[in-house]
Amino acid sequence: MLRTISTLNKLSKIIAVVSIACLWSCQSHKREVITLAHGLDQQHSVHKAMLKLGEVLYEKSGGTMEVRVYPSQQLGNERELLELLQLGSVDITKVSAAVMENFVPEYKVFSLPYVFIDKEHAFTVLDGEVGQRILKSGEKVKLHGLGYYDSGSRSFYTKSKPVNQPSDLEGMKIRVQESITAMAMVEAMGGAPTPIAFGELYTALQAGVVDGAENNPPSFYLTRHYEVCRYYSLNEHSRVPDVLLMSAHTWDRLSLEEKEWVEEAVKASVDFQRVLWEQSEQEALKAVIEHGVTVSYPEKSKFEKRVESLKETYQQDPLIYGLLEDIRKLKP
């Protein structure tokens, strides 16, 4: 019941936003106003890349297409924004592939630990046939995939002690995304997975609801989670991309020329974000160290060994295991 009320409140807010956008569109001589909402801070590389998307699209369209960006969960969290995309109430959003797996099973493969051996391998997969196939798989649930932003690699950060080997996770409650795969991974390593909305995590860490979490360096830094968690163990257990999506309702109403403009703007935005991400990772690690966080580099093979069986459980799932095999074939 509470979730229903929350969703209705969010929907009311969206209706107001869309109404204003429609009014503006009518008054702007056929200008297409695109509503883009996401949950990240305005200092995040993804937000800056979305502003870039808007600039390029405005330029390509000769001012006939405008993107209005609503950051910081103004219109909802990632799951809520996906639901609003399906309704056509929001046009574009960015979500983690881990959240997408609740809507499209193909995305599960990205949450599996140690699927990619490095960043280059990940980009080869994401920008190639396999990645594009997964983007298209969302069409069946009204989610049109546009592209992938770099979200780096995820590692553990904790309050009381570092995680230098899987046994250090035993007895620890670790926040994970709303992802069955992420929960299974933490459990396989010995921890107790606890799904919590990202916006509620700082308070949960402070209150001792969880003992730690796992995420990339910029997210750890920009959320100020380093104020609570003083240990960051870079075991880099997964490299889950961010996914840029458009409502199929919006995509279908665009002309062929408008679709081309959108695709060109997305390409510029993705390239821009990946450069910014590289810089932000280095800056974030330097900053948390300066704030007194102990950063360690545990032996990854110990963690990888603990989750080998998790991948093998998908042998009975031809969809995911087939994608896994395709990704393995692309290893350099």
Q: At what angle do helices 45-60 and 256-290 cross, to 10 degrees?
A: 160
pLDDT given for residue 6 in this prediction:
52
Confidence at 4, pLDDT banded by 50, 70, 90 = very low
Least confident of 16-30, 129-143, 154-168, 215-229: 16-30
- 86 assigned to some structural domain: yes
Count of structural domains within the chain: 2
Q: At what angle do helices 129-136 and 318-329 cross, to 10 degrees?
A: 150
> Same domain, yes or no, for 235 and 250?
no
pLDDT given for residue 18 in this prediction:
55
- 145 assigned to some structural domain: yes
> Same domain, yes or no, for 66 and 208?
no
- 182 assigned to some structural domain: yes
> Same domain, yes or no, for 25 and 173?
no
| pLDDT for 268 beyond 80 | yes
d(CA 166, CA 139): 38
> Same domain, yes or no, for 51 and 162?
no
Task: Classify 7 as helix, strand or coil.
Answer: helix
List Cβ neighbours of 154 (8 Å cut-off, separation of 6 or more). Answer: 214, 215, 216, 236, 237, 238, 239, 240
> Same domain, yes or no, for 212 and 197?
yes
Domain extent for 314? 154-239+288-329
The percent of residues in the chain predicted with pLDDT above 90, rounded, is: 86
> Same domain, yes or no, for 104 and 222?
no
> Same domain, yes or no, for 245 and 235?
no
> Same domain, yes or no, for 144 and 90?
yes
| pLDDT for 30 beyond 50 | yes
Own/partner pairs, 120-126, CB within 8 angstroms, 24+ separation = 120/332, 121/330, 121/331, 121/332, 122/239, 122/241, 124/330, 124/332, 125/327, 125/330, 126/241
Q: What is the CATH number of the domain that holds 75?
A: 3.40.190.170
pLDDT given for residue 312 in this prediction:
84
- 212 assigned to some structural domain: yes
- 10 assigned to some structural domain: no
Task: Classify 330 as helix, strand or coil.
Answer: coil
pLDDT given for residue 16 in this prediction:
55
Instruction: Give the pLDDT mean for 136-156.
Output: 98
- 2 assigned to some structural domain: no
> Same domain, yes or no, for 111 and 135?
yes
> Same domain, yes or no, for 227 and 119?
no
- 36 assigned to some structural domain: yes
- 5 assigned to some structural domain: no
> Same domain, yes or no, for 124 and 266?
yes
pTM of the model: 0.86
> Same domain, yes or no, for 65 and 173?
no
